Structure 1
């Protein structure tokens, strides 16, 4: 629910104290130090306080403001997103609020296990650094910088060859990795059989003995020949045809889903993932993502849309014992 409260005023802080009394968890996102400057630390001294800021409560960047773009860039994760040899790319939907919020929730749950009030300090920069955890570790150990790989995989070759993981198909893209060893034997054989069912098997594929195939030693020229033989086959399939085929053959592969694919996904629908809710009064119901997990077989309901600014002032302050007349006076004074 959403309320307004001027915490710079004495009456506003008194209202906040009434709301916070007895609260186990208080979440705030003021600039570092501002919470204490407003005199709120004492009010919530017995509560778990979760502070979520761009760079954390201390350090040289603590008081530097930052949007999702700055935080993602500072974390190093932006550097790794995009095509090789081209500028890095940010995702269309900001990610740092979700990652820092997730860590804030986790920190609060951990803090609940203590009998002593805890202060949970979440840095969005640190949260986003964990998006690609191997990169800083790789640099620390080997002094090698991970770069943007685009549609290619890392770690599949001992001689520096690159293997494609994203392929064009008839209506989008699919993910498929050519691998050797125990993990690649069955998918490799199934791919060759599948290609035979739909036409001739290219000679470079037919010549492979998948029981001894070792992708890690292939030269880049050999990899390119393999991929040139596979690419036309995948381009002939739709995402649905590809996925039906890999499931039927117990292969490793998945279509690259867009938003419409996710909404229609039969697995999500079978688990009743989507919730229907009107986003605002007067608007028709729309599908929204539901809770991330089932609890005793039930998915938590989305109880209401995101609140408007001050939408629930009357409702919440009434619960705190503020009369309608007093609330009107506070509104006129700019306190709420």
Structure 2
């Protein structure tokens, strides 16, 4: 059973909000992607299937618009606005990611739509929200990430900050928007009316990174700096800070390991040292370390911390990540491996859960592999329902649900309304 199958969502978003609509669609909602005539600008974004630039072959579009039906409609035209209001009468949710005030200027803001349908919920996804001195500023991913505080601590100390390899500001914001929308749907069953959801990408990222970034300032008066792979702050002698890696190189990639001292890490650390000794590796000052009673405060400088890490790093470089992962599980060391995209496709845990989904693309004569649902429900379905829509693919289907005859649709298309 599709858990949200009783709800209809009108998705007006661009790439800032695609993921919100996709998630609601994967949960079973009837999500209708509303594009301008000729197609959404996001269709021009690569990469493309077989590297052929084509608005119907954008892999980016495919990835973020599954589980949606698709129609075309020009809401800047009077006839288009009236048609949209007719659609709103049938809808539970409207998603949009235009600049603040744009929908109000068209006469399609929340107050106007509420007059058409008191139960409608409108969710807006923007860089900085609907109010405040930054509300009208442009906010691509790198800007939202920078002002969200997450870029400042990423990278090397002698170089400018780095962003993540893949834009994620609006993916995170979209998930907050999903949560807000679902809560509003539940609340509607209590209060009998819809409401307006204002989702800010800056605040979504601020919320995500606040524990690491703001926590050190709030509790220690320290502004987190960039330290390359040395992401984890430790307290050494005289209440000074030093930094340890959480990502280590090995023979064929990287592993994740946060060295924990004290009783919680005693078993794994002791076993690691014994393993190093059995391999004939020089363990340096680790040989005098009492893992149960000693912590980082016995170190006097970052250099002493680095000395320990150099010993560990040189050891890890002798092994593959799979060898390290298996041995760490055997000795009780909390270690993980850094998976490449190729690794993930064959990772046994993901394969066993059936995480990856084959989606049929008849127009391409093939199926494409998509990431599936991260969650399972004992009494409900969550996953991709259909491939991303073609331009105007469901125009006849959706508009006929409003009672519009095919002949009228042809006229509207000729006028550039749909």
Q: CA deviation at 1:194?
A: 1.8
1:98 is matched with which residue: 168, 171, 195? 171
Q: CA deviation at 1:71?
A: 1.4
Q: CA deviation at 1:255?
A: 1.3
Question: Is the aligned partner of 1:185 residue 2:266?
Answer: yes
Partner of 2:146: 73
Partner of 2:408: 326
Q: CA deviation at 1:54?
A: 1.2
Unaligned runs of 5+ in 2: 1-68
Q: CA deviation at 1:161?
A: 2.9
Higher deviation after alignment, 288-297 or 131-140: 131-140
Partner of 1:43: 113
What SS does the corresponding residue of 1:287 show, helix, strand or coil? strand
Question: Is the aligned partner of 1:155 residue 2:255?
Answer: no
Higher deviation after alignment, 158-167 or 320-329: 158-167
Alignment of 1:20-169 (within 5 A): 20-40=88-108, 41=110, 42-45=112-115, 46=118, 47-114=120-187, 115=191, 116-134=193-211, 135-140=213-218, 142-159=220-237, 160-169=241-250
Higher deviation after alignment, 311-320 or 68-77: 311-320
Unaligned runs of 5+ in 1: none
Q: Is the 8 A contact 2:373 2:383 kept in 1?
A: yes
What SS does the corresponding residue of 1:318 show, helix, strand or coil? helix
Give the TM-score taking structure 1 as reference length.
0.92
CA RMSD of superposed structures (Å): 2.1
The 1-side partners of 2:253 and 2:196 are apart by 47
Q: Is the 8 A contact 1:161 1:219 kept in 2?
A: no
Q: Is the 8 A contact 2:227 2:243 kept in 1?
A: no
Aligned length: 336
The 2-side partners of 1:80 and 1:147 are apart by 5
Partner of 2:77: 9
Change (3 A) 1:191 1:297: farther
Q: CA deviation at 1:141?
A: 5.4
The 1-side partners of 2:361 and 2:172 are apart by 24
The 1-side partners of 2:220 and 2:284 are apart by 39
More strand by share: 2
1:206-234, Cα deviation, whole Å (9 max, x unpaired): 33333323223223343233222222210
Question: Is the aligned partner of 1:240 residue 2:310?
Answer: no
Change (3 A) 1:267 1:216: farther
The 2-side partners of 1:71 and 1:30 are apart by 15
The 2-side partners of 1:302 and 1:118 are apart by 28
Question: Is the aligned partner of 1:310 residue 2:398?
Answer: no
The 1-side partners of 2:259 and 2:165 are apart by 30
Q: CA deviation at 1:21?
A: 0.8
What SS does the corresponding residue of 1:305 show, helix, strand or coil? coil
What SS does the corresponding residue of 2:242 show, helix, strand or coil? coil
Partner of 2:372: 290
Change (3 A) 1:297 1:257: farther
TM superposition outliers: structure 1 runs of 4+ over 3 Å: 136-143
Q: CA deviation at 1:157?
A: 2.1
Q: Is the 8 A contact 1:52 1:104 kept in 2?
A: yes
